[in-house]
Amino acid sequence: MYRIASAEDGRSIDDPDGSNDELLNRLEAGDPTAVAELAGMARRERSALLDTAAGLHATTLAMEVLANDDATIDALANLLLGYMQEGKTSVRTRRSRRLVQSDLLSSLQRVLIQRLSRPLSSATDALIDLFVVTGNKDPKTQFKVRVGGLMHTLCQQLIDNRSPLTERLLQLLARCIRSPRNAQLAGRIRDFTKAVMQRASDARHADVMARHLEILYLVAKNKKTRSGLLTTGVPAKLVALMERIAPMLRDVDPPAESTLLIVGLLKLFANSRKGKEEVLSAGMVSACEKCLDALETAVDKRGDKMATQLQDALCSLCVRCVPAEKFPLAGQPFPLSFTLPRTRTRTISKSNGGERVGEKRATTSYARAADGGRSSDEDQEEADDEFAEELGEESGGSGTSDMDDDVRELKGDGIRVQSDMPVLSKYSKFFVELEEGAPSKDKRKYGSVPKKKSIVGNANGSIPAALPPHPISYSQAILNQVQHTRSIQRWAKIAYPEMVGPDRELPLQPLVFSTNAMRLVASKAARNGLERGGSKDSFKSRIVYSLDSMVEGREGGAEANGKLTNDDRARLGKMDARCDHLLFESRFESGNLRAAIQTDKTHYELILQPEVNQARDHFQWFYFEISNCEANAEYTFEIVNCLKTSSMFVHGMQPVAFSVGEAAAGRPGWVRVGHSICYYRNQYVIDADVAGHRKDRFFSLRFTFALRHKADVCYLAYHFPYTNSMLRATLECWTARCVSSIYVRNDEIGLSLAGNALTLLSITATGTAKEVAERDTVVFTARVHPGESNASWIMHGLLEYLLACDDAIVREARERIVFKCIPMLNPDGVVAGNHRCSLAGHDLNRVWDSPNRSLHPEIFHAKAIVQAACETCSPLLFLDLHGHSRRSNCFLYGNNPDQSWRPSDVVSSPTLEFVDTAEILEGIAPAFSSRNCRWSVAHSKEGSARVALWRQLGLQRAYTMECSYAGFESGPYKGYQVGISELKEIGRNLVQTALTLCKKDEDTRSRVVE
């Protein structure tokens, strides 16, 4: 028998007696008995044979020679599928890579074309499966099917229709035209689109119709193709199809996918004015109404998610067809600015966010969609594919698959090992406890860190390192801290929640789904002239809040605000007799309302501030105050300049509110509020040539909400706010009060662009230098993205546990671990009410690979701390806290070399060390879901903390932790929105996780010693 039985999986084998050669020769010659022999071999032997280059070559050659023999093709396709899909992850990955490298895809393509070109012959399911699986792994799939002819063959067969394409082949065709380039070429094939439309109309089965519509959708994404389709009356044909489908929506199994695809197509047409007219004159509104009527009963039946989704899609199509209006502030430059320091070296600034944005802009929307799926950090470039989201598609396979060759080059550059960091000795002073020990409170000199001078200059507003003689209250501390916080905008007040301290743990609130919201919007749109004969609402819109008119210039700089206070309690119950509308305010820390426009008696359109110096817009975070309200009146708020194509606000999330009236009545705290919540693309457009705007269209977040008290003062926000001043005031109180067995040092490691202090906390139990040196070190960071205030609440829970609690677990954690925490990586962004960037206008979680000292001092110093930690005490764990706006639960992103975009990252014997943190968290954190974790390393993430620190500093356990803004879809909190309690609990769970990791590693070490 073959001598390969003893070979290990994955290792190439010798064949001393040449018995394999004979089989290989027969395979290459197309001997069906050799195929049978190969198929019959035991799994292990078969794998060993395929592991050799000659074995693989002979097998693929045999497929080509025997392309028209169904049994052979099936046997070989199943053989290769099994080879690729069985075994451990590392084995599977290596084998897939081999098959890709040996260009299996091209062989399969030739086999497919051969089979398709013969009448009555078709592809077998196993062959298509194998092609799809291989195609998912091969980064050049789109290129190969274009050049190799498969795409063209399938298109032609669809046109000829002599042997109609089966559903599987239609799926395959849809895959072939996923890249914009292929879709464009397919759209140009004579009679192709006409044939697709015809087949869709003629289809008898819902699935076949949906596949044709999907193909039509993919080609119609191309603008030119679309205008061609417009002249051949495709919109009218689609509307007719929709009319025909409408009654079927009452069925138990409605043609939901086809309906969504028609809606998606009509939305594409509605992107142009001419298309919009065409869609409307074809009778779209009445067709939609018929569909909506049919769905009515299904929606009323609680829990029919699909019906609700269809209803929302139909309504948003109607809203999309509302005549476009100019964006209210179009062309009006934002009055606040911040002048950036000049940078010295061009080479470094080349790798900053600006350039990166440029790169991203060059990529096509589909490629972004492909990358934007599972592999993404929240910080993903937006998947510009609304339809995919409507279908609930998870795009992409593993982050590196299925991408178009046109937009993705596997280049080896872009990877830079940090060499231009400052002399690390400058940062070693922040690890003084290793040298000098951690003395108890009374004995501490606090002399180790320079008090007067920080390493980068003035220690402006930093928390005193020495403990004050008398612990102060939070309300005193916040008054003090706000004075020193530097901002580019002059503030009018301290917001009430920050003034009184919003750390109130309230009961869980369920996710809230609004089924009627989009219908309200659509019927209003219909009323307002969407249908002929409709009349506009008579209310005359007026601006009731305008930040632009109140801004005091600071000439491009940032300053401290001086003394501020809050008199909200005194304002309660007092209506402003001169005003018959709500009053707005957002001139406070993290506030960001630019304008409020009253468009109806109780309807307000709101516009959020842009981020200064931004390369591209990010409007998501909001925080503002309302007053002058009637009791129990329903007010509708519509934020009209959102940019993301989808939002968790349609998946049960509500905004948060803090009512001063409620606080006065003894019920203080942030609660989730609002009903009739919806999120959709609105009628506003902005000309592409208006400076500072890349996006030419906007989305609205709309919610309705009634206040209980007349003349209340109420704060509304995207998520539970957590300001920089509040952090500093909280730390001031905690560090002053903590017990003497805790060693805590609060160092200023540098200053942000605006001159706000960057804080590093070092926390451990008191001990001698020797004791401290034996402890493990963990590093936690948070809030690089200012809109992600949930990250701060997690950090709040973590620090509170370490500094203000004393149970057995935390005591042991402090005795075994030195905690290094940078609780606010981007204070300027938080202060300004940004969502994403720093004052440099850059996403700071994209510059970790090469931070510029002048432009990104925040990351420059933070990275130096981690680098110094790696050199002095090799940290056990690095974890950066984030918030996620499109997913539920709390989860991790980590680095699996096997799932990296760089082939050279793949290691022969991977350690799975990175997974253990998730396993531990899964066991102790109710909010955590390891199912949501992702371990891929995408090209676009090279500048993120977790990838850069893993790649450059070798940190195996380097993570991004994401927590949903919305809530939970699994675990004990399933069905509930996330609250402050749950966020703080995650913080405590992280301390426990660090302790477990530390014990686990100790066990491993002692076992090695034994």
Pull the structure tokens for residue 859.
């990351």
Burial class (CB in 10 A: 0-12, 13-18, 19+), 109: buried
Reference 322, options 703, 620, 700; nearest CA is: 700
Place of tokens 């954190």: 925
Closest CA to 794 of 990, 929, 505: 990
CA dihedral (685, 689, 690, 695) positive or negative: positive
Q: How far is the CB of 712 from Zn ion (least distance, A)?
A: 33
Q: Quick check: 641 and 648 in contact, CB under 8 A?
A: no
The helix, strand and coil proportions of the chain, stated in percent and rounded to the nearest 5, come to: 45, 15, 40
Say if CB 769 and CB 437 are below 8 A apart: yes
383/885 Cα distance (integer angstroms): 13
Amino acid 32 reads P
Rounded to the nearest whole angstrom, what is the least distance from the CB of residue 379 to Zn ion in the complex? Answer: 5
The first and second tokens of residue 486, run together, are 């530097």
Give me the least distance between CB of 591 and Zn ion, in Å please. Answer: 21
Q: Shortest Cβ distance from residue 245 to Zn ion (Å)?
A: 41
Residues in contact with Zn ion by CB under 5 A are: 378-379, 785, 788, 882
Q: Which of 257, 378, 962, 969 is catalytic?
A: 962
Handedness of CA 861, 863, 868, 874 (dihedral sign): positive
Which one, 427 or 621, has the nearer CB to Zn ion? Answer: 621
Pair 430, 749: CB distance under 8 Å = yes
Catalytic annotation present for 962: yes
- Name the helix (H) or strand (E) containing 779: strand 776-782
CB of 760 to Zn ion, least distance (A): 20
In the complex, the smallest distance separating the C-beta of residue 944 from Zn ion, rounded to whole angstroms, is: 9
Q: How far is the CB of 521 from Zn ion (least distance, A)?
A: 30
Tokens of 951: 């790649």
Closest CA to 480 of 558, 561, 554: 561
Amino acid in position 450: P
Question: What is the SS3 assignment for 603?
Answer: strand
Q: Which is nearer to Zn ion, 668 or 967 (CB)?
A: 967
**What Rg value do the Cα atoms of the chain yield, rounded?**
31
| Residue 582 · residue 635 · CB < 8 Å | yes
Residue 838 Cβ, how far from Zn ion at the closest point, in Å? 13
Instruction: Supply the DSSP symbol for 844.
Output: G
Question: Which amino acid is located at 445 in the chain?
Answer: K
Strands 675-685, 325-326: pairing is parallel
Alpha helices in 766-855 (DSSP H): 769-773, 789-804, 808-816, 827-832
Query: What CA–CA distance (Å, rounded) separates 720 from 790?
Result: 7
- Taking the least distance from each CB to Zn ion, the nearer of 104 and 824 is 824
Q: CB-side exposure of 440: number of CA atoms within 13 Å?
A: 4
User: Which residue number, 379 or 382, has a Cβ lying nearer to Zn ion?
Assistant: 379
* Shortest Cβ 837–Zn ion spacing (Å): 11
Which residue in this structure is represented by tokens 């849809």? 174
Chain Cα centroid distance, residue 160: 43
Helix (H, G, I), strand (E, B) or coil at 760: strand
Cβ-contact 980, 504 below 8 angstroms: yes
Q: How far is the CB of 365 from Zn ion (least distance, A)?
A: 22
Angle between helices 305-320 and 284-300 (to 10 degrees): 160
- The two three-digit tokens of residue 191, written as one number: 């009679």
Indicate which residues carry an active-site annotation.
962
